């Protein structure tokens, strides 16, 4: 096998797409019974794909990471994401805050089209395959049919974080990499919910969209809307 991709969330699907486009035979292994489960969950709120705004403002939202992300976003930024989505037959629209969504306002049509395009490019999907580390040059998997060893010239690990075990992001891969001497940063949230002790006048509007708002936390200001 020329290339092995472990994990079939958006990162793994995109890695498989790039490898297949470069002419490589690709095996895409996913521990869950189906691919893209967190992507489908994100689609329940419309699937915010990107944000249509000037490049400087778009990059600034990444804070300290903006400098090292700049080359990647320059190569595949908001315009390219929208073109890629349209290439899968999915129309997009831009909301009042600049956020871009598929016209279907859900992820399932996009995911079906994406998986279909990958299959057409020769990507071999294997679901129910849970990665168990390596034995010398072979990646080890537990599968519905028993243990499997895969030897690949290139392996891409797209394993997700530890935010939602039910959807596949369980962080179970961390001990496997640590055992190989790979240094790992502790898991920490990329976003979070918080409680607010609203005043009585505000409580009357609970559940109502608040538009044209600015939220401040320390020196960070985020303008947009919330519910």
Which tens digits make up the pLDDT trace of 116-128? 999 999 999 999 9
Please name which of 1, 15, 99 lies closest in space to residue 50, comparing C-alpha atoms: 99
At 223 the pLDDT is 79
What's the whole-model pTM score? Answer: 0.88
At 96 the pLDDT is 84
At 58 the pLDDT is 94
If one compares 215 and 47, the residue with the highest pLDDT of the two is 47
Supply 194's token pair.
């918080």
d(CA 199, CA 188): 31
Cβ proximity of 28 and 125 under 8 Å = yes
At 213 the pLDDT is 87
* Percentage helix, strand, coil for the chain under 3-state DSSP, each rounded to 5: 35, 25, 40
Confidence category of residue 194, pLDDT binned at 50, 70, 90: confident
At 168 the pLDDT is 93
Model confidence at 192: pLDDT above 80: no
d(CA 169, CA 31): 10
Instruction: Report helix, strand or coil for 120.
Output: helix
CATH number attached to the domain at 1-47+106-192: 3.50.50.60
Q: What is the pLDDT of residues 62-104, one digit of tens each?
A: 988 999 999 999 999 999 999 999 999 999 999 988 999 999 9
User: HEC string of 147-176?
Assistant: EEEEECCEEEECCCCCCEHHHCECCCCHHH
Q: What is the pLDDT of residues 46-67, one digit of tens each?
A: 999 999 999 899 999 898 899 9
If one compares 86 and 209, the residue with the highest pLDDT of the two is 86
Q: What count of Cα atoms within 13 Å lies in the side-chain half-sphere of residue 19?
A: 25
Domain boundaries, the chain: 1-47+106-192
At 21 the pLDDT is 97
Query: CA angle, 27 as apex, 48 and 130 as ends, to 5°?
Result: 80
d(CA 28, CA 45): 27
Task: Say what percent of the chain tops pLDDT 90.
Answer: 78
Q: What is the pLDDT of residues 2-44, one digit of tens each?
A: 999 999 999 999 999 999 999 999 999 999 999 999 999 999 9
Integer-rounded Cα radius of gyration of the chain: 20
d(CA 63, CA 192): 17
Angle between helices 108-120 and 10-21 (to 10 degrees): 30
At 97 the pLDDT is 84
At 132 the pLDDT is 97
Could you give the C-alpha distances from 60 to 47, 65, 199, in angstroms and in order? 22, 9, 32
């Amino acid at each position: 096998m020329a290339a092995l991709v472990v994990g079939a969330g958006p990162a793994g699907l995109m890695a498989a797409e790039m490898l297949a486009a470069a002419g490589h035979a690709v095996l895409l292994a996913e521990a869950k019974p189906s691919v893209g489960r967190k992507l489908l969950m994100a689609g329940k709120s419309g699937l915010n794909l990107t944000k249509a705004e000037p490049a400087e403002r778009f990059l600034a939202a990444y804070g300290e990471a903006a400098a090292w992300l700049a080359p990647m976003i320059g190569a595949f930024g908001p315009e390219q994401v929208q073109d890629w989505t349209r290439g899968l037959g999915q129309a997009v629209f831009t909301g009042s805050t600049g956020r871009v969504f598929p016209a279907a306002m859900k992820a399932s049509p996009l995911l079906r089209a994406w998986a279909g395009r990958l299959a057409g490019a020769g990507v071999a999907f294997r679901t129910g395959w849970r990665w168990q580390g390596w034995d010398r040059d072979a990646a080890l998997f537990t599968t519905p049919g028993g243990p499997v060893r895969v030897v690949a010239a290139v392996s891409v690990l797209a394993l997700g974080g530890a935010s939602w075990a039910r959807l596949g992001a369980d962080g179970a891969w961390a001990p496997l990499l640590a055992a190989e001497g790979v240094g790992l940063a502790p898991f920490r949230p990329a976003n979070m919910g918080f409680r607010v002790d609203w005043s009585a006048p505000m409580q009357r509007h609970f559940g109502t969209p608040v538009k044209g708002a600015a939220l401040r936390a320390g020196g960070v200001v985020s303008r947009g809307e919330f519910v």
